[in-house]
């Protein structure tokens, strides 16, 4: 059975998973600005999902509406059995796919042996993929990773992952050590495409790193022959980044402010007391920028503790 990844137009665009950012509210707002072809949830702990107490703390990360499809659930952890269980859950909940985080460089996560630490533990990485596949059944399984840990290991590490015959593979073109402090090694991402082609696999390759516009995404996909482009931080500077027909630099202040109000209201309606309103503050600069007085407005908004306080400033 062909996965949905294979049926996407090429090049396609994906909204990257971002911690405490890309929840159901954020995804719906971005879709209203310009819909990406695929979206991914915040990364969710398989250990949390496997625990009755832990599940209550992480399950909100997998909350979604049908309008967000195709939506891929991203998971992380170190226990293959829990990946199997997460795969079953993702399939039962109707997710379009399951993605395994093997790229997060956060130190406390690495200390657990999870995410990018798996680059140093390829056998466990393979066991995890196999368990996730068994649990996920007929929904596609993918991985998001980096090109190495302390140094570039594209052939060794990515070559190993390709042996698991993944449905899709997203490559963030930096090592773990580089974090986001160095330019993306797009030549290494292009090398992954060559490795895939040499192995004659159907794995879809997605490039990620330093994409700041839709047009740049198109150019990079053409140059390096990736099937898709994933954008993360770029959307925090331009919520309309997936819309090729809108130049956000020409949008009026009124349009930006109205979109922020819409975002705040949806956040409030969706989460109420479930999430601290401070989480919403990460998004203010997405809209309140590049116009006279923007900095002062942002400063006032940052002092607010409720949606109502913010809206009074904006209307």
- Measured N-to-C along each axis, helices 253-271 and 307-314 cross at an angle, to the nearest 10 degrees, of 170
Task: Give the separation between CA 231 and CA 209, rounded to whole angstroms.
Answer: 7
DSSP string, 134-177: HHHTTS-EEEEEES-SSS--IIIIIHHHHTT--SEEEEESS-TT
Task: Give the separation between CA 129 and CA 132, rounded to whole angstroms.
Answer: 5
In Å, what is the CA distance from 215 to each residue of 178, 212, 231, 258? 26, 9, 12, 26
Backbone CA torsion sign across 217, 223, 224, 226 = positive
DSSP string, 221-234: HHHH--SEEEESHH
Q: Which of 33, 104, 283, 304 is the catalytic position?
A: 104
In Å, what is the CA distance from 206 to each residue of 12, 26, 88, 145? 9, 22, 25, 11
Q: Check if 33 is active-site.
A: no
Residues with active-site annotation: 104
């Amino acid at each position: 059975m062909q996965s949905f990844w294979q049926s996407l137009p090429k090049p396609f665009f994906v909204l990257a998973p971002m911690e405490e950012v890309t929840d159901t509210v954020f995804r719906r707002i971005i879709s209203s600005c310009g819909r990406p072809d695929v979206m991914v949830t915040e990364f969710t702990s398989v250990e949390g999902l496997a625990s009755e107490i832990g599940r209550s703390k992480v399950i909100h990360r997998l909350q979604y509406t049908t309008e967000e499809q195709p939506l891929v659930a991203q998971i992380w952890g170190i226990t293959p059995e829990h990946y199997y269980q997460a795969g079953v859950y993702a399939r039962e909940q109707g997710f379009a796919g399951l993605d395994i985080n093997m790229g997060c460089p956060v130190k406390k996560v690495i200390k657990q042996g999870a995410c990018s630490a798996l680059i140093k533990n390829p056998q466990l990485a393979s066991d995890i993929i196999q368990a996730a596949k068994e649990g996920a059944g007929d929904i596609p399984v993918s991985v998001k990773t980096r090109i190495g840990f302390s140094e570039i290991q594209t052939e060794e590490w990515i070559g190993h992952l390709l042996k698991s015959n993944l449905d899709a593979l997203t490559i963030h073109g930096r090592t773990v050590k580089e974090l986001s402090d160095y330019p993306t090694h797009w030549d290494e991402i292009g090398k992954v495409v060559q490795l895939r082609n040499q192995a004659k696999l159907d794995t879809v390759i997605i490039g990620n790193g330093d994409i700041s516009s839709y047009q740049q995404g198109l150019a990079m996909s053409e140059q390096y022959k990736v099937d898709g482009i994933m954008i993360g931080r770029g959307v925090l500077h331009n919520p309309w980044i997936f819309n090729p027909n809108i130049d956000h630099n020409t949008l009026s202040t009124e349009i930006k402010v109205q979109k922020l109000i819409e975002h705040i209201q949806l956040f409030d309606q969706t989460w109420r007391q479930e999430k601290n309103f401070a989480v919403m503050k990460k998004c203010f600069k997405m809209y309140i920028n590049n116009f006279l007085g923007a900095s002062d407005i942002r400063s006032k908004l940052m002092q607010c503790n409720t949606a109502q306080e913010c809206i009074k400033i904006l209307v």
